[in-house]
Amino acid sequence: MRVVTVVRRIIGILVTTALVGGLAACATGDAAGSGEKPTTLTLATGFAIDDVDPLENGFWGNEFGWSELLMRPVLGADPKPWILKSLDNVDDLTWKLTLNKGVHFQNGDPLDAKALADVMQYSLSEVAGLKSIAGTTVKPTGDLEVTLTTPQPTPNLPFLLADESKFVIFDLPAYLKAKGDPQKLIDAKLYTGPYVVQKLDTQTMTMKADPDYWGGTPALKSVTVKFIEEAQSRILAVQKGEVDLALYPPTDAAKNLNGRKDSYWVTGTPKGPTFQFQLNQKTGPLTDVKVRKAVLSAINYKEIANDVMNGLYEVSNGMYSPKAAYYEPMFKTDTKATDKLLTGAGYAKGSDGMYAKDGNPLTLTVLTYPQQPDSGTLGVAVQSELKTAGIGVEIQQVPDTDEAMQDPSVKWNAAIVGNGTTSFPGDPISSLQNYFVTDGPSNYSGISDPNLDALVSKLATTMDTTERDDLLKQIQAAVGDGAYMGFLGMRVPGVVAGPKWKNYKVPTANLWVDASTTAGS
């Protein structure tokens, strides 16, 4: 499972940036040991990349610099044009997309209006995440202009164009010739990004700057991505000078870096709840709404943020950032309510202080996964807090939570998953459609509420901002009433950086590398 989910058109987010660390020593790259800024970057990630197929792994390209989006996510604001020069909303159903001049793929083929219309129409037919706008047409209406027409009002279209998993932009004819062959996909140079993939194996991806990049000269000469699943090994690679940036570090590692001269905890800005606490409503005790409410009321959200996560999380007691115009608090810690709810559901405490019903103890199996090590830390915290409330928890780490939740042989009751409640660029609509509606493609927990479905459907076609905000408040009330999902804190995003990269600016939406990326000032 990858982290995908995740801010912010109408969300005004708290803007704070903090650095934890000491003085500089060694680093990777050609500037190590000198006062010059490095011209190479090596990153370590816990997620392996199998190939550069745009439909399967194209989203990684937007994160690591080999591909680009039509619109760029902006924290706390609407997306802004990226490959596009402009995006104009002509009327409720019509949008005009105008390309920048001179955009071309790494193989030299131009990205003109026809090429853009063709690849967008192809994505509309092939990408499951775009089924909410099924029936949309894209047609060239000028050399660099396409007109996109939706069958119904689509207020979140700018966010769909800035979503790394929706409209990946690539050379469609070249892709169709290379499809199915990993090496041919690399050789085809399908994308528009500043860095061109040279080699990809099970351990490493190497990229070089495109000397003909349409946007000018990239800031770095080369970018390397290493696939290191274990989080502490990624941090150790930074400390050994083998890696410049370790992505997805466990939050509890931050305190161990204080005073070090070989590695630094570098933070960005939180964008909303980071980890979903998905509750299995298809089978087991959490099919009962009283039990779900009891579980969510037993969790101490302040303790998780301030103590367990050492203040590197912000408290989350709802679906969205408290800075959002539409934010509504949904959950609070109340162990008395937990007792009342479980008693009402037919459970009784035994002499050991644990709840049981008909002789069966109330024990939940909670899934975590190694690529997001904070899921394990959060799992232990939830286990401790629920035990205090009389609810048992068994933690099961799985390689991929998405696969595990869909596998009938895996018995699970809850899962801690690194997805937010807005998309990467900040759209609340697409995440609601994915996770909360009855037929949502990522609704693995079995949420099924006709009223909630109707609210999300109305939200998805409402162009007025005030009305959308009101609908979002109603949606939060419905999710809270049904206790359909919990949220375990807003993580302050962080990476572990080597000395030469300690001033790296952690970007929004996991866009780790683009043409302007440098080690900072």
pLDDT value, residue 28: 44
C-alpha angle with apex 218: 215 to 224, nearest 5 degrees? 130
Q: pLDDT-derived band of residue 137, with 50, 70 and 90 as boundaries?
A: very high
**Token couple for 348:** 């009784």
Examine the pLDDT at 19 and tell me if it is beyond 50. no
Share of the chain above pLDDT 70, in %: 93
Rounded to two decimals, the pTM is 0.79
**Token couple for 324:** 């959002």
Nearest to 501 by CA among 515, 512, 485, 489: 512
Cα dihedral 424, 428, 430, 431 in deg (nearest 10): 80
Q: pLDDT-derived band of residue 521, with 50, 70 and 90 as boundaries?
A: low
Examine the pLDDT at 352 and tell me if it is beyond 80. yes
Distance of alpha carbon 221 from alpha carbon 485, whole angstroms: 45
Examine the pLDDT at 166 and tell me if it is beyond 80. yes
Examine the pLDDT at 155 and tell me if it is beyond 70. yes
pLDDT value, residue 520: 84
Q: Which residue has the tokens 């800075």?
A: 323
Query: What CA–CA distances, in Å, run from 496 to 39, 136, 263, 453, 508?
Result: 19, 42, 6, 41, 16
The number of C-alpha atoms within 13 Å of 450 and in the hemisphere containing its C-beta is 0
| SS3 assignment, position 309 | coil
**Token couple for 190:** 């399908």
pLDDT value, residue 456: 97
**Token couple for 240:** 């050994």
Mean pLDDT of 220-224: 98
What angle, 0 to 180 degrees and rounded to 10, lies between the N-to-C axes of helices 289-298 and 374-388?
100
Tens of pLDDT along 399-445?
999 999 999 999 999 999 998 899 888 899 989 999 999 999 999 99
Examine the pLDDT at 152 and tell me if it is beyond 70. yes
Q: What is the DSSP letter of 307?
A: I
Tens of pLDDT along 475-505?
999 999 999 999 998 988 899 999 999 999 9
Tens of pLDDT along 266-325?
998 887 888 999 999 999 999 999 999 999 999 999 999 999 998 889 888 899 988 888
Please enumerate, as own/partner, the contacts of 400-409 that have beta carbons within 8 Å and a separation of 24 or more: 400/1, 400/369, 401/1, 401/367, 401/368, 401/369, 402/1, 402/442, 402/444, 403/1, 404/367, 405/278, 405/280, 405/367, 405/444, 405/445, 406/444
Distance of alpha carbon 12 from alpha carbon 353, whole angstroms: 44
Share of the chain above pLDDT 90, in %: 82
For all residues of the chain together, what is the average pLDDT?
Answer: 91
Examine the pLDDT at 210 and tell me if it is beyond 90. yes
pLDDT value, residue 35: 64
Tens of pLDDT along 67-91?
999 999 998 788 999 999 999 999 9
Tens of pLDDT along 256-268?
999 999 999 999 8
Q: pLDDT-derived band of residue 194, with 50, 70 and 90 as boundaries?
A: very high
Mean pLDDT of 458-481: 96
Cα dihedral 317, 322, 325, 327 in deg (nearest 10): 0
pLDDT value, residue 239: 98
Mean pLDDT of 330-348: 97
Mean pLDDT of 10-34: 34
Distance of alpha carbon 126 from alpha carbon 134, whole angstroms: 11
Tens of pLDDT along 95-122?
999 999 999 999 999 999 999 999 999 9
Examine the pLDDT at 6 and tell me if it is beyond 80. no
Examine the pLDDT at 246 and tell me if it is beyond 50. yes
Domains of the chain as residue ranges with CATH: 19-66+180-269+493-510 (3.40.190.10), 71-173 (3.90.76.10), 276-491 (3.10.105.10)
